[in-house]
A and B are shown apart, each in its own frame.
Chain A
Amino acid sequence: MLEPYIAKDQPIEVMGSGSKRSIGRPMQTAATISTASMHGIWMYEPNELVMSAHAGTPVAQIEAELSAQNQMLAFEPIDMGPASGGRRGTQTIGSVFACNSSGSRRVTIGAARDHLLGIEGVTGGSELFRAGGRVMKNVTGYDLCRGLSGSWGTLAVLTEVTFKVLPVPEKTATLIYLGLPDDIGVEVMCAAMRLPYEVSGTVHLPQSMAARLQHSVLVEQGQSITALRIENFAKSVEYRTNALRKALKVYGEPIVIGSTSSQEFWSEMRQLSVMPYNEGTCLWRVSTAPLNGPKVVAAIRRHMPVEVFYDWSGGLIWVEVPASADAGASDVRRAVAVHGGHATLIRADASVRSSVEVFQPQSPLAERLMRGLKTTFDPMRLLNPGRMYANL
């Protein structure tokens, strides 16, 4: 597959549909390889909760197929396309794992990487390889499925992925607490996660963010929103909603929205609809310990005006900052250095992305190991060279 490029020593841009093309450092490549022509689901066993698809299969097609059997991609991959200037609803399943893109359910059910069971790919040396398999439990050989998750096409071209799927819960309810400041919103989310009711989504939208929702009922409230999702069989949803409400009553009485309305709301979270593409701003994705979320935001806010919303009970923060020559990188990264975690620049001009580190800088030792892995998989540095880090 890659021989012609190897022969000419031509660096290649590796992509699926290109929905996340403008995330990462700008690259100098001579050609593009898209997996979009490799599509199709070739194995789906609902009773074993497993599906295999060619890497270029659109997520939309996979979700339609799963939905027909009342199943889903439980880690609800985020569509970063619209927020980063790409197209909505076009991302491929290969890219979801290559970027380890996980949505709100990550707090209970795990990340994309945790659902990846097997891969087939081609290294930068044009070697075809498989790792993992189609079974849930597999410790045969090193764990290359995890190793390649989140490598953004810089180690290998994924050609096939096999992943775990889960049943769609019978009912969903979302408890919406109104008017809480950020730190109390995070407190409520952490308190909910400390209870045995398997809350499967926790987001906090400050007032200005809630105003950007399309969900009319919630916009009308005109206040900040702290949302807790319960999913289960109908009886359990009813029981757990009441139990949660009782346990958290010091925070006020929530509005409770049902399945359909909940789906609209959580789907907006998956689309990052409150962070639409906007040339006047840059967008960061910050991951930190949940309790430190508001502290990171406060630290950044001391240097610039920001708009944020919190997912993962405070541990994932989407931070919109005014466009500038460095997208506020030094202040964002300093805040993260103090409170722990990491920051990725999701949206900024190409000029900004070539002058600041887009992905979190690594320790010299981690950098050395990453370089070693790059050399192992892609000795000529042909695949997405420099997309994550200048020397990878």
Chain B
Amino acid sequence: MTLKMPVPDRDTLSRSAEIIAALKKIAGEEAVIDDIDGRRTFETDALTAYRAMPLAVVLPETTEGVAEVLRYCHREKIKVVARGAGTSLCGGALPLEDAVVVGVSRMNKVLDVNFDNRTAQVQSGITNLAISAAVAEEGFFYAPDPSSQLACTLAGNLAMNSGGAHCLKYGVTTNNVLGMKVVLMDGEILELGGPHLDAEGYDLMGLMVGSEGQFGITTEATVRIIKSAEGARPMLLGFDSSEAAGSCVAGIIGSGIIPVAMEFMDRPAIEVCESFAKAGYPMDADALLIVEVEGSEDEINDLLARIAKIAEPFSPTTVQISSGPAQSAKIWKGRKSAFGAIGRISDYYCMDGTIPLSKLPEVLRRIGEICASHGLKVANIFHAGDGNLHPLILYEANDEEMAERAELAGAEILTLCVEVGGCLTGEHGVGIEKRDLMTKQFTEAELGLQMRIKSVFDPEWLLNPGKVFPLDAEAGIKVDTAA
């Protein structure tokens, strides 16, 4: 693969025995992983093409424990890579050989739930789904729902400002967090917000969310919990072109209905998912929409009937309203297992651009052309309501030349997303994957501004370096900061 990581610091590597001994003294023997097999578990994230064996892994159990480790690393100028569950698709949690990985997975408790205030205070190593599980008894849930929600931690969601299929109605992570406790690189503990609805002073919490683990390590958070709707049901709408499907989405939104989710799949995606999940997707359609609405039984029927009517002028080839929970589950199983289903037939490279809805047909056509020009196949999945597009470029991982072509095609697709008024990443983050494309979206001055903000939180750039910004830009700012 083509992306380089910063050259490891020889001095740090030569001191590894001393560093590990110090970490064990600080964090306790059982919290430090230094054997090869143990460390190997942490050498990559969900961008598995890239790997690096970290110097050591520490799994503290308290905020103070994280602070002590960071204080030591700060004093000794040792880099730190924060880690939740390692499900980042962009290499956000990729270790460095000269870095200590600090994982929050052992801090996974629910500290307090208050249904009147509609808040849950949790440790950040809790999984996304476990938050919802902890409040389900009263019919509440935590709204952001990334596909990896069974495994991914809140800490990672906060670092990447994760989204999901249902954020058209409920927003992404940043819209659902009220308070955070964050350990900065120098070991200081920053408390932001709380159970109240807005925080004062500069919106440090807003900056912290989505800072890709480069500003601090979040150990606790207070999140908004929401009462679940009485019910929810999807419908399937098949079309013979992506234009028709896109126009239908515009029509639904224009009518004043905000469905809880609107998912689009193109023909290759439909075929793979249907053969995997037997969800009842129409095999004769070029484009499929899954539209889900919420409410009471009567409200759902009313809304789905309205949507069917809105779809009429676009000549849907299929209009199928889910008959009940079993069929709804099947419909969603098809969509939610899309990545897995495609993974069974091929390796794939999952892109994550966002585009204005009106550009969908043009973008899909050009994605087809780009992939064809590299001799590659592609399937497209699209969160239609919010413009987040996931082209899955199919390739064979053990064919290095083909893998490079997939990377090239991916970069061209993301550049296209920026060109049509969208952005490089809607919910996966920049990490290492899109680092070098940042210049497509931002001017040098804009990148400089962002990097100077990083320096406010971590002046020596010890936290998760080598990510988000092109390496030469990062090297430049470090010289500036040191001067």
The residues of A with any CB-CB pair to B shorter than 8 Å are: 45-50, 70, 100, 102, 106-107, 110-111, 113-114, 123, 127-131, 133-151, 155, 166-170, 187, 190-191, 193-196, 233, 235-236, 239, 243, 287-291, 312, 315-316, 340-342, 344, 359-360, 362-363, 365-366, 369-370, 372-373, 375-377, 388-389
Complex contact A289–B387 (CB within 8 A) = no
- The answer to the question of B76 belonging to the interface, with a C-beta cut-off of 8 Å to chain A, is no
The answer to whether A139 and B175 have CB atoms under 8 Å apart is no
| Interface residue from B197, B206, B302 paired with A107 (Cβ < 8 Å) | B197
Is the pair B449, A170 in contact by a Cβ cutoff of 8 Å? no
* Interface presence of B446 (CB below 8 A): yes
Partner of B421, one of A131, A134, A290, A340: A134
CA gap between A79 and B85 in the complex, in Å: 44
The complex places the Cα of A315 from the Cα of B119 at a distance, in Å, of 12
Contact call B161/A194, Cβ cutoff below 8 A: no
**A-B complex: 6 closest residue pairs judged by Cβ atoms:** A146-B206, A372-B456, A167-B256, A47-B250, A137-B426, A136-B386
B41 within 8 A of A: no
Indicate with 1 or 0, residue by residue over B450-472, a CB within 8 angstroms of chain A CB atoms.
10111111000000000010000
Task: Report chain B residues within 8 Å CB of A196.
Answer: 139, 227-230
When distances are taken between beta carbons in the complex, the residues of chain B under 8 Å from A131 are: 446
A-B contacts, 29 of them at CB < 8 A, read A45-B358, A47-B253, A102-B198, A107-B197, A131-B446, A137-B388, A138-B423, A139-B160, A139-B427, A139-B430, A140-B425, A140-B438, A142-B210, A146-B206, A147-B207, A166-B258, A187-B116, A194-B116, A196-B227, A239-B298, A287-B198, A289-B114, A342-B200, A362-B201, A365-B188, A370-B201, A373-B456, A376-B456, A389-B201
A-B contact count (CB 8 A): 258
- A141 touching B450 in the complex, CB below 8 Å, given contacts A110-B175, A135-B354, A166-B258: yes
* Chain A residue contacts of B58, Cβ below 8 A: none
Task: Decide: A135 near B298, CB < 8 A? Known: A140-B438, A149-B203, A365-B190.
Answer: no
Distance of A50 Cα from B201 Cα, bound (Å): 28
Question: Cβ of B161: which chain A residues have Cβ within 8 Å of it?
Answer: 139, 143
Query: Residue A110 contacts which of B171, B194, B203, B211 (CB distance < 8 angstroms)?
Result: B171
Using CB atoms, name the residue of chain B closest to A343. Answer: B200
**Roughly how many angstroms separate A114 CA and B421 CA in the complex, as a whole number?**
20
Q: Closest CB-CB distance, A380 to chain B, in whole Å? A: 15
Shortest distance in angstroms between B148's beta carbon and chain A's nearest beta carbon?
15
Q: Please give the distance in Å from A150's CB to the nearest CB on chain B.
A: 5
Q: Residue A236 contacts which of B210, B299, B387, B453 (CB distance < 8 angstroms)?
A: B299
Write out the residue numbers on chain B whose beta carbons fall within 8 Å of the beta carbon of A129. 443, 445-446, 449
Is A130 a contact partner of B446 (Cβ separation < 8 A)?
yes
Known contacts A113-B203, A135-B386, A366-B192; 5 additional CB pairs below 8 A are A127-B449, A167-B258, A289-B117, A289-B195, A312-B197
Q: How far is the CA of A318 from the CA of B439 in the complex (A)?
A: 46
B118 within 8 A of A: yes
Contact A139 B210 (CB under 8 A): yes
A139 touches B429 (CB 8 A): yes
Known A-B contacts A289-B117, A370-B204; A48 and B253 likewise in contact (beta carbons under 8 Å): yes
When distances are taken between beta carbons in the complex, the residues of chain A under 8 Å from B199 are: 342
What's the least CB distance linking B117 to chain A, in Å? Answer: 5
Residue of B nearest to A74 (CB): B258
Most buried by B among A135, A167, A342: A135
Question: With a CB–CB cut-off of 8 A, which chain A residues contact B456?
Answer: 369, 372-373, 375-376
Q: Are A113 and B206 in contact (CB under 8 A)?
A: yes
C-alpha gap A360/B196 in the complex (Å): 14
Known A-B contacts A196-B229, A344-B200; A146 and B171 likewise in contact (beta carbons under 8 Å): no
Contact check, A141 vs B442: say whether CB atoms are below 8 A apart. Answer: yes
Quote the shortest CB–CB distance from A341 to chain B (angstroms): 4
**Most B CB within 10 A of own CB, among A48, A111, A362:** A48
Contacts of B455 in A (CB 8 A): 376
> Residue of A at shortest CB range from B459?
A372
Taking a contact as CB atoms under 8 Å apart, the answer to whether B387 and A168 are in contact is: no
Interface residues of B in 213-258 (CB under 8 A from A): 227-230, 250-251, 253-258
Of all chain B residues, the one with the shortest Cβ separation from A291 is B116
Given A137-B386, A193-B118, A289-B114, decide whether A147 and B453 contact each other with a Cβ distance below 8 A. yes
Task: Tell me the nearest residue of chain B to A377, going by C-beta.
Answer: B449
A289 engages B196 (CB within 8 Å): yes
B227 pairs with A195, CB closer than 8 A? yes
CB < 8 Å neighbour of A239 from B207, B299, B434: B299
Contact B195 A340 (CB under 8 A): yes
From A193, A342, A369, name the one whose CB has the most chain B CB atoms within 10 angstroms.
A369
Contact B194 A143 (CB under 8 A): no
Residues of B within 8 A of A373 (CB): 202, 207, 453, 456
Q: A178: shortest Cβ distance to chain B, in Å?
A: 22
Shortest Cβ distance from residue A192 to the other chain B in the assembled complex, whole angstroms: 10
Q: CB-CB < 8 A to A372: which residues of B?
A: 456-457
Interface residues of B in 360-408 (CB under 8 A from A): 383, 385-388
Contact of A141 among B302, B388, B468 (CB under 8 A): B468
In the assembled complex, the Cα of A195 lies from the Cα of B116 at a distance in Å of 10
Out of B191, B197, B253, name the residue touching A49 (CB < 8 Å): B253
B194 touches A340 (CB 8 A): yes
Residues of chain B within 8 A (CB-CB) of A155 are 202
Max chain A C-beta neighbours (<10 A), residue from B138, B184, B200, B421? B200
Known contacts A194-B115, A194-B227; is A114 also within 8 Å of B175 by CB? yes
Shortest C-beta distance, A384 to chain B (Å), equals 13
Q: Compute how far the CA of A148 lies from the CA of B207 in the bound complex, rounded to whole angstroms.
A: 9
- The residue of chain B having its C-beta at the shortest distance from the C-beta of A118 within the complex is B423
Given A151-B203, A170-B256, A359-B201, A133:B209 Cβ within 8 A:
no
Contact A137 B167 (CB under 8 A): yes
Chain A, Cβ-Cβ closest to B356: A48
Q: B138 to chain A: which residues have CB within 8 Å?
A: 194
Output the least CB separation between A304 and chain B (Å). Answer: 22
A100 contacts across to B, CB distance below 8 A: 198, 203
| B91 → A minimal CB distance (Å) | 14
Smallest CB–CB gap between B112 and chain A, Å?
11
